[in-house]
Structure 1
Amino acid sequence: MNQTAKNFTLTEWLAWMESCHPSEIELGLERIKTVANSLAIDLSASKVITIAGTNGKGSTVSYLDSIYHKAGYSVGCFTSPHFLHYNERVKIDGVNASDSLLCSVFARIDNARGQIPLTYFEFGALAALLIFSDLKLDLVLLEVGLGGRLDAVNIIDADVAVVTTVALDHIDWLGDNREDIGREKAGIFRSSRPAVCGDLNPPLSVSSVANELDAQLFQSGKEFSYTQEMDSWSWQGLSSVGEKLFIHNIPLPHLPIQNAATVLQVIQCVGLKVDEEVIRSGIGTATLTGRMQLIEVGNTRYWLDVAHNPEAAELLSQKIESMTGEVTLVLGMLADKDCRQVIELLAPKVDCLYFVDLNVPRGQKASALAEFLPSNTPVKQFSTVADALNLFKNNHNRSGDVIIAGSFFTVSAALAALGKEE
């Protein structure tokens, strides 16, 4: 990097970061540890929660951020990917990091790394960690990008480690079975520290890693659980010292209850005091871009849900079953996802199918998606998400629900097409 980089805009920094490493992904911690040590990154003043899992990471972060923010704590969140603006990846007390702040820490990282190559994600992870280190926040939430054991955020020893769910995804990197994937995700556990697993039927490897490390494992369905009523739900779990705890009459959340139940157990393990009423309020108001996000335009309800793998598609299909009236699915996917199973789960639940091209690296064509349908199944194909949505926007008398799913790229394009860039 030459000296002119000190005047780079955020857009210029991001373009340069994408070009400076030969691989999009290079798992391993030695390179990023070396740079982090040079930067003297220190999160010892903060409680750190690291969140891994196939699905549910984003909603878990959202719940925790909402609850602890309402409780008066300073909170930093590192998540990925972003939808419209890179700044979404780093939040401090609910506010996206500014362009100027990100540019300044990117310059510090570039100066500290010397000749050590870093991936785009590693630059971003270091930027978040450096910002949180400087601010000495009460709580830091770190979402794993891929796997866990070798992910960049795992250079930090979490006070509480969370595995939300374990399903088949990223098999080229993590393994082709749940046992191998579970071991990778459980790689964020730390010796003699609490670990929380929200999967109702986790692979044995998760508890095996906890036992190997003597980490105290809190397992959904064992140490904690929940029951749902008509308009509320209740939670039962354990304190950090094993005392039975109960919280009743919690409002039904916008995001999955299973992840909310996991969060309540995490809170008991963290050690920062939070009142029950704050928990109820934080659970009830937590939302997340692209997770059953509702946008209403005229008489049409647009539901944005990433749902890019079978586990997430199964949850979405259950939501669709509760809808009345005509339901249209707008689906765009990446070619390396399990397109067949996602389509098999969602297509029978809707009235109309719109498949779209994703014109990005690894993007699948609509025509290829259509090949996973039974012959003679009616489906409309579009070159962009915006083209598909224009049919609804131009029909002001139409009512009903439109599900937009399949990828972060699909949802991002829908947000732009619907005028929700901010």
Structure 2
Amino acid sequence: MDNNLNLLKELRFPFKKLFFTGLLVFIISCKNSKTQQIALATSDNNVSLDLDKLINDCESQLEIAAPKLTDLTKHPRLIETNETEWKQVPNDKLIWTSGFYPGILWYTYEATGNERWKEEAIKRTEVFEDFKNITEHHDIGFMMFPAYGLGYEIGGKKEYKDILITSANSLASRYNPKVGTIRSWSNKMHPRWQQHITIIDNMLNLELLFWSAKHGGSKSHYDIAVKHAETTMKNHFRPDYTSWHVIEYDSISGAILNRHTKQGYADNSRWSRGQAWGVYGYTLVYKETKDKKFLDFAQKLADKYLSLLPEDMVPAWDFDVQNDPKEEKDASAAAVVASALLDLSTLVDNKEDQERYYNEALKMLKSLGSEKYSAVGKADSFLLHSTGAKSLGHEIDVALIYADYYYIEALDRLKKIQEKI
């Protein structure tokens, strides 16, 4: 009997040690489950992508362009077909693209750690503080968050907080509770429509409202953003999850008067960048709300977009003309979705979806960074072959500043994901 007791004592310690070791491993694995999921998403990836080279290419392009962009009253908007240098336009309150160049500088600073780009970003951000009071249109989100929002988040410029909250107040002033959306354009700017206009692009401006609600602004900003997303989800998409560009609502009753387009091929066509705004927008809304209905919708939009893509992962400017090889591409749509899919890959729970969205994003970035779409050695931008508004007769097969913005955002997001592995 004594011999048996001694044997049990000798065995008890290793079993006890084994038990607690296993328990510790389990706790750590639960704590780091999201990082492990991301690692799993990359472990089977067969897309060869030299991320450091792509980021270095962007920095090299900025080193060429920045010395030429010295007029602080203007910002780069596009490089015309067969030209090499940025066409600069005034920092006018009606021109929606002014925030993207400072945003590019902020992301490049974060991706490279080069203080030069932080200094450039501050200089290029602070020239349009007065835009915080814009109430004429919804694009104040596009204009202010890439500049001041990233300056706060990446650059540590806490003094930008009040500017951002004031900007959010200006955006929220365009919300119509009878419709349930933020009014996009003014009717004076777009006389085709006489009442309350909402465009799919407006989903991206919700980022400013969510940020404000989390940083001391009105809590109503969160509610407005959610209601806008819900109303848009209900009215802006067809049963197959493709999007209309413009919806005109009755300003009093909220009834839908018209579904049209401004930049797509036809009123009932599937404008590719509009589809991209939807994918990005609902991924953003889920990230901010954690409401599963928005995640489910973001995935449906993403899956539909992916199903429509050509082999090189860069769509034509409108999906309804994609079968015509003469129709121009829109690299800006690809950049927007690549960035959104990287975010989405970290938000979904299903391992298969994590892998799929991550790998599809890598395919897009590989294509955009290839000889076919890269501007390296050809022009001062990061990317070529974007189309802003072919239906209006301009910005056709050009470099666009917002294509570069979402491209460097995607590369920066990818770097952060890989650093967690």
Larger strand proportion of the pair: 1
Larger helix proportion of the pair: 2
- Higher Cα radius of gyration: 2
Q: Same fold (TM over 0.5)?
A: no
TM-score in terms of structure 2 length: 0.31
TM-score in terms of structure 1 length: 0.31
